[in-house]
Structure 1
Amino acid sequence: MPRLPHRLGLALAACLVAGPACAAKVARIDIQGVADPAVAQNVRTALSLNDELDKDLSARRLNYLLRQAERETREALEPFGYYSPTITIRRSDRDLPVGQRAEPPATDADAVDDPDDGDEAGTDGGAPAAASTTPRRDPKRTLTVDIQIVLGEPVRVRREQVDVDGPGAGDGGVREALAAFAPREGAVLDHTVYEAGKKRISNALLQHGYFDADLASHRVEVTRADFAADIDLRWTTGERYRLGEARFQQDPKPIIRDDLLQKLVNWEPGAPYDAAKLDRLRRSLVALDYFGLVDVSALPENASERTVPVEVSLSPAPRSIYTVGASYGTISGPGVNLGVERRYLNSLGHKALAQLDYAKDRKALTLQYKVPAFAWLDGWYTASLQAVDEVNPYINSRRVEFVASRSGQYNDHLNLLASLHVLRERWLINVADDGEGGLSPLPYRYGSYVFPALEATYVDVDDRLDPRRGAGGTLLLRGGRGGADGNTTFLQVHARVQWFHGFDADSKLILRGEAGHTFSGSFLDLPPSLRFYAGGDRSVRGYDWHEIGPRVEVDGDVYYTGASNVVTASVEYERYFKGPWGAAVFVDSGSAFEGKRPDMHTGVGFGVRWRSPVGPVRIDIARGLKSPDSPFTLHFAIGADL
């Protein structure tokens, strides 16, 4: 049996004697001196030591990782412009058993390379450190590693030359991307910002059809001594490609006529290539709701004479949608919901819907027929008929309404709707003196109205389901003539706005506002469906539905008459703490009123938030401040704010 070299034998004997004393664990890495969370996270991710947390490490392996940490930290700071930081790394024993003594920090003599780790291997040929031949007193050491960083002066851009040569130099979208490039002269050389700016220009060239564009020069020169960087970026674009004919493929069989779908194509063959036109076609096809899969693909590799063919692959969605559900409302009582929708009745894309909402104190039947509209703006021609019977402490009303409308998507954020309404309503909410000092209900009142309405809906947010940044709102203008004698006229304007501001990934501020006014010489002749109310969900929490505003009482029953004006406002702060769960606090205020001065009612409260798979769920508890006897109210909502 060959004899082991003397020194190697001593080392093996030392480890056999020490046993588990060779092992240590790093429980935590503290990174100090870096205020930016993104920079600190990049440092932590770059550390090989971070992958070894809570693992048994030999002394040599641990010391090697500590030595590597200085280099890894330095490299992790460079993408943020810090090329000359001062880095100090310390380790300390932690959580020692009672009676054990902490060992001193590692010295240079301890920091030897691990011969078992490939490129880490190495030896100076000397004898092992004396400490390695002595058994450790603490076989279960737990260490904390502190990385202290002094960032120093960052590297700043001294010169930047970013340009495009060729036909694309005059393209508006490309020039816009060039103008938005960062970092500019004098700014810190943040490589993340630099790469994003470079990618923005490359994407603009591709989206505008410069498929032959080439990055002729891409160089960043850093002079550490001067804390300066010089950027040189230049593209040559080549000729711009053109859009070809759009070809539709419906699989497994066509359900909608091709000539109908061709009306959605918003370019003529030979037009300059623009990816925004393809995206508009895709969104128009999705909005039709005929297809479960919509794929719009440009194929520049199949271009002929720089004309790019466009392939549109479509798979039909299920033709019928059936809905069955249960409901409960504090006003309407328990109920059921039944519905059926036909996504497409024929190859012309007509749709039909029938829906029944049947609750104890509210019944509604809705019938709807829709025809796709492509002239001027994508949208729908819609005819709907709705019958509603509602009797509760707030209202006694029965109405039938026919609506003919035309909707149109003006742009990515603005949708317009023009409609004509024919309304017949019977209601009872007013009272009169019965001649004996009491009040008695008036007979039912009737009114028939014909009026047009214009509505604009604007939404510009980062996420429609759970917005954190942006704004949205609606503006409604309607007016006409009617009443019992046909001589009552009215004109209404009603606006709602919402604004979202995210402070970070887990918190945001929400501001809401509402204002409405009715111009009419005989407001009491207007039916309840044309009046304004306040109170309840999405209005002033802390008060019941429609509770705020004019009211009358008859034999203990309260009738809320509605008003010609409404104004509400809300401030809400929302924060998520762990996973999908969060909380909110809010203040709401508002009133439905007659005259010029509102009788403002304010409610305060808090709520629970849950980001469920089907949308945000909000449960709020609120209390009105108008009266010391005001009860607490519970409010529940599910779905998007907008």
Structure 2
Amino acid sequence: MIGPVRACCGRPRDRPEETGGGVKRSPFLRPGHLRPHGRPDRVAAHVGRYATVLALAILAGGMNVAPAEASFFSRLFGREEPEPVPDAQPYTLDFKVTDADLEKTLQAASNLYSERDRPPPGTTGLLARARGDYGRLLAALYREGRYGGTITILVDGRPPDSIPIDATLPDPAPVTVTVDPGPLFTFGKVRIEGAPQTVDPREEEANLDLSDLEIEPGAPARSGRILSAEQRVVTVWRQRGHPKAEIASREVVADHRTNTVDVTIVAEPGPEAPIGAVTVTGTRRMVPEFVVRQTGLKPGEPYDPDTLDKAKKRLLKLQVFSSVSIQEAEFLDELGRLPVNFALAERKRRVFGAGASYSTVDGATVETYWMHRNLFGRAESLRLEAEVSRLGSQSYDQLGYRVGATFVKPGIFDPDTDLNVSAEAKQDTLESYQERSARGEIALAHQFSDALTGKAGIAVERSRFDDAFGISNYLLVSLPAQLTFDSRNDKLNPTKGINAAIAAEPFHDLRSDATAILLDATAASYLSIDADDRFVLAGRIGLGTIAGADLREVPADRRFYLGGGGSIRGYAYRNVGPRIGDEVTGGLSYWEASLELRARVTNTIGIVPFVDAGASFEDAIPDFGEKTFVGAGIGLRYHTPIGPIRVDVARALTPQEGDPNFALYIGLGQAF
């Protein structure tokens, strides 16, 4: 909140007086100095693969839940039963606001209102809650541009300050809150001294257009707008290389005769200073010199808070640190540069885990992994994992196995380039084919920006497939590459942004001497229809081709199959594609598209009608004149703090042999 303001030409009732009857009027005093504290840290949440198991357990119902578990699930879904308070003092509340438009805003600011179902401990607790509401309600009035309001709070018909802390109150005690917000004040004279002037129009981020500050004369004089204007002025100066920019003074004067507020803000940019020495603290097993290098900062380069923020993200991306804090020096060094320190906290080096899932179609799956996050002191990671699937199959030949190892060396050439080395062996049995394969890959991954990443490498794979063409053996050498752009505002529940990827994999089979290239492109976009993001239109499209080889010369796992939860919902998994008899062979090209309308009925419940369509083709060039397979359905979303739980029911509109009457999909997060 902003500090109090000084009254101009006000009558005696406008001074910071407290009157009888529990009435307190808005104080108008000269505010103290406000110093911006920079932009908040971004927090990324990572959700494990088997969150669906949690969703199933929650939706199943009929379970005996221990008290501790009940508390966990209550917190998970935003509800928690109040714990009993010793010597509680219940009370009834009559909350009155003379302006109906501000009633909900003031109720949200009041602890007496929001905690009315949680009685405080004794008379002392109730009186403290009532006294505290004066400041909270006053701040809420300031935020709404109401500087002449009146707040009356009575406990058992008396002002809280007149009641002894050891007094005995009725059970329950009657409490009344009456708020007269007073008139809406508007900005009068607005003056900003020391504001940065507009510079090169190409440098939009470092420009300042005072008309965008929303404190022009005649605008509602909400206190938040003054704070935002100050923060914007300081931010622009900092982005122009002035790390010690601050607001030197602020004067806010309210005139009750005209219901206007005059504002004078004085900014002090301080000297322009480049980045000085970069240091780190808190390293135990990490090599400090490597950590400094990974920040990408170099002494003498221009100061920019965005550059520091990017350095912090680089360190967090190493997955070695549980926290990274940027500490700018209080004073410039003898060269006029700003020393910067990164305070770090290292995570445990070793971690292991296990998971399990079950499907009535595929049986049970169990997996485990072990990971070392910092092998040699430079954030080198090694992950070993194993998985057994289709447990419950009638024969061991139908079981699925997978073992793999991945080694990552960050900062191989520069802070944004990593070396990835991986190896994997697996056996998998699907309706379309049975696979046995071993694969090794060496790749470089580069972070071009927050949204754009790329990866390219070389892979060798030996495989054996038993499919509609019989038994085939392959020995492939390939050059897989992928470029990904992801600007979604939320990975599990996006309301805006784009998620697109382009993949290319030229490969050569040393056994058959066949050469081909696989190209695959997907894109999803999100459009919020209303300002509150309660209605979001989401669309996805995919297109792919394999050129240069016949269908049989391409390994079965490279061909394009459609159908299932990640494709055309309503059809059986991988049951859409070219066929030989009753067996799906997969195709050399495909297209697919999805459209969803994500609508929130309440704050936690949403419904999602959707339609999916697509086709897979035997030739490398899609034939859009062929049959299109369409699936449609409706979904239910239960929004939780960790993301929406998704339940989709879909039906194939043009079913084929092997497709179910309807399909049910449960997961965490939106479908795409």
Could you state the TM-score of these two structures normalised by the residue count of structure 2?
A: 0.68
CA distance in 1, matches of 2:142, 2:598: 37
CA distance in 2, matches of 1:397, 1:273: 55
CA distance in 1, matches of 2:598, 2:225: 31
Q: Does 1:518 align with 2:545?
A: yes
Q: 2:324 aligns with which of 290, 294, 312?
A: 294
Q: Does 1:601 align with 2:630?
A: yes
CA distance in 2, matches of 1:239, 1:590: 60
CA distance in 1, matches of 2:93, 2:576: 59
The answer on whether the counterparts of 1:501 and 1:510 sit within 8 Å (CA) in structure 2 is yes
Amino acid at match of 2:591: V
Q: 2:104 aligns with which of 32, 41, 49?
A: 41
Could you state the TM-score of these two structures normalised by the residue count of structure 1?
A: 0.71
Any idea what the Cα deviations from partners look like across 1:617-641, whole Å, max 9, x if unmatched?
A: 3233333333599522121223687
Aligned residue pairs, count: 545
Aligned to 1:561: 586
Q: Does 1:571 align with 2:599?
A: no
CA distance in 2, matches of 1:528, 1:319: 39
Per the alignment, in what secondary structure is the counterpart of residue 499 of structure 2?
Answer: strand
- Give the number of the structure with larger relative contact order, counting CA–CA contacts within 8 Å between residues 6 or more apart: 2
Per the alignment, in what secondary structure is the counterpart of residue 44 of structure 1?
Answer: helix
**Post-superposition shift, 1:575?**
2.9
Alignment of 1:185-204 (within 5 A): 187-204=219-236
Aligned to 1:233: 265
Q: Does 1:489 align with 2:516?
A: yes
Residues 574 and 420 from structure 1, CA distance in 2 versus in 1: closer, same or farther, beyond 3 angstroms?
Answer: farther
Any idea what the Cα deviations from partners look like across 1:116-170, whole Å, max 9, x if unmatched?
A: 76589xxxxxxxxxxxxxxxxxx99999999999x98x65556644453589999
Q: 1:413 aligns with which of 444, 451, 466?
A: 451
Alignment of 1:215-294 (within 5 A): 215-216=247-248, 218-220=250-252, 230-251=262-283, 253=284, 255-294=285-324
Q: Does 1:389 align with 2:427?
A: yes
CA distance in 1, matches of 2:137, 2:381: 61
The answer on whether the counterparts of 2:556 and 2:585 sit within 8 Å (CA) in structure 1 is no
Per the alignment, in what secondary structure is the counterpart of residue 530 of structure 1?
Answer: coil
**Post-superposition shift, 1:576?**
7.1
**Post-superposition shift, 1:486?**
1.9
Per the alignment, in what secondary structure is the counterpart of residue 540 of structure 1?
Answer: coil
- Greater share of strand residues, 1 or 2? 1
Aligned to 2:620: none
**Post-superposition shift, 1:564?**
1.0
Aligned to 2:463: 425
**Post-superposition shift, 1:33?**
6.3
Amino acid at match of 1:401: R
Amino acid at match of 2:144: F
CA distance in 1, matches of 2:653, 2:175: 56
Q: Does 1:346 align with 2:376?
A: yes
CA distance in 2, matches of 1:588, 1:461: 22
The answer on whether the counterparts of 2:93 and 2:113 sit within 8 Å (CA) in structure 1 is no
Q: Does 1:462 align with 2:525?
A: no
Per the alignment, in what secondary structure is the counterpart of residue 513 of structure 1?
Answer: strand
The answer on whether the counterparts of 1:79 and 1:192 sit within 8 Å (CA) in structure 2 is yes
Any idea what the Cα deviations from partners look like across 1:560-608, whole Å, max 9, x if unmatched?
A: 5245112121304153746xx5343231312232222351312212224
CA distance in 2, matches of 1:570, 1:48: 44
The higher radius of gyration belongs to 1
CA distance in 2, matches of 1:611, 1:163: 46
The answer on whether the counterparts of 2:141 and 2:147 sit within 8 Å (CA) in structure 1 is yes
Residues 316 and 115 from structure 1, CA distance in 2 versus in 1: closer, same or farther, beyond 3 angstroms?
Answer: closer
**Post-superposition shift, 1:314?**
3.4
Q: Does 1:310 align with 2:340?
A: yes
Amino acid at match of 2:416: D
Per the alignment, in what secondary structure is the counterpart of residue 596 of structure 1?
Answer: coil
Q: 1:499 aligns with which of 509, 518, 526?
A: 526
CA distance in 1, matches of 2:134, 2:450: 49
Q: 1:80 aligns with which of 144, 147, 170?
A: 144
Residues 416 and 72 from structure 1, CA distance in 2 versus in 1: closer, same or farther, beyond 3 angstroms?
Answer: closer
Any idea what the Cα deviations from partners look like across 1:173-221, whole Å, max 9, x if unmatched?
A: 5534757422345544333233222223234445666355453563455
Per the alignment, in what secondary structure is the counterpart of residue 373 of structure 1?
Answer: coil
**Post-superposition shift, 1:468?**
4.2
Aligned to 2:498: 471
Q: Does 1:530 align with 2:558?
A: yes
CA distance in 2, matches of 1:294, 1:71: 35
Aligned to 1:93: none
Amino acid at match of 1:473: A
Q: 2:578 aligns with which of 530, 533, 550?
A: 550
Any idea what the Cα deviations from partners look like across 1:282-306, whole Å, max 9, x if unmatched?
A: 2212211223343332222474454
**Post-superposition shift, 1:340?**
1.8
Per the alignment, in what secondary structure is the counterpart of residue 261 of structure 1?
Answer: helix
Amino acid at match of 1:486: D
Residues 279 and 626 from structure 1, CA distance in 2 versus in 1: closer, same or farther, beyond 3 angstroms?
Answer: same
Any idea what the Cα deviations from partners look like across 1:513-553, whole Å, max 9, x if unmatched?
A: 02112152544132222222322223232222222333344
Any idea what the Cα deviations from partners look like across 1:340-379, whole Å, max 9, x if unmatched?
A: 2222222344322221111134322222222223535513
The answer on whether the counterparts of 2:514 and 2:549 sit within 8 Å (CA) in structure 1 is no
Per the alignment, in what secondary structure is the counterpart of residue 535 of structure 1?
Answer: coil
Aligned to 1:585: 608
CA distance in 1, matches of 2:327, 2:349: 25
Aligned to 2:70: none
Aligned to 1:540: 568
CA distance in 1, matches of 2:146, 2:136: 13
Name structure 1 gaps, 5 residues minimum. Answer: 1-23, 56-68, 90-110, 121-138, 431-441
Residue identity over aligned pairs, in percent, reads: 19
Amino acid at match of 1:582: I
CA distance in 2, matches of 1:51, 1:596: 59
The answer on whether the counterparts of 2:447 and 2:454 sit within 8 Å (CA) in structure 1 is yes
The answer on whether the counterparts of 1:483 and 1:526 sit within 8 Å (CA) in structure 2 is no
CA distance in 1, matches of 2:268, 2:115: 47
Per the alignment, in what secondary structure is the counterpart of residue 312 of structure 2?
Answer: helix
Residues 240 and 328 from structure 1, CA distance in 2 versus in 1: closer, same or farther, beyond 3 angstroms?
Answer: same
**Post-superposition shift, 1:495?**
1.5
CA distance in 2, matches of 1:145, 1:342: 58
CA distance in 2, matches of 1:237, 1:527: 64
Amino acid at match of 1:43: L
**Post-superposition shift, 1:332?**
4.0
**Post-superposition shift, 1:223?**
5.8
Q: Does 1:401 align with 2:405?
A: no
Any idea what the Cα deviations from partners look like across 1:257-290, whole Å, max 9, x if unmatched?
A: 3332232132322333323233222221221122
CA distance in 2, matches of 1:618, 1:71: 42
Supply the RMSD in Å over aligned alpha carbons. 4.6
CA distance in 2, matches of 1:212, 1:325: 50
The answer on whether the counterparts of 1:264 and 1:374 sit within 8 Å (CA) in structure 2 is no
**Post-superposition shift, 1:380?**
1.3
Q: Does 1:637 align with 2:657?
A: no
Amino acid at match of 1:550: P
Residues 44 and 482 from structure 1, CA distance in 2 versus in 1: closer, same or farther, beyond 3 angstroms?
Answer: same
Amino acid at match of 1:320: R
Amino acid at match of 2:628: D
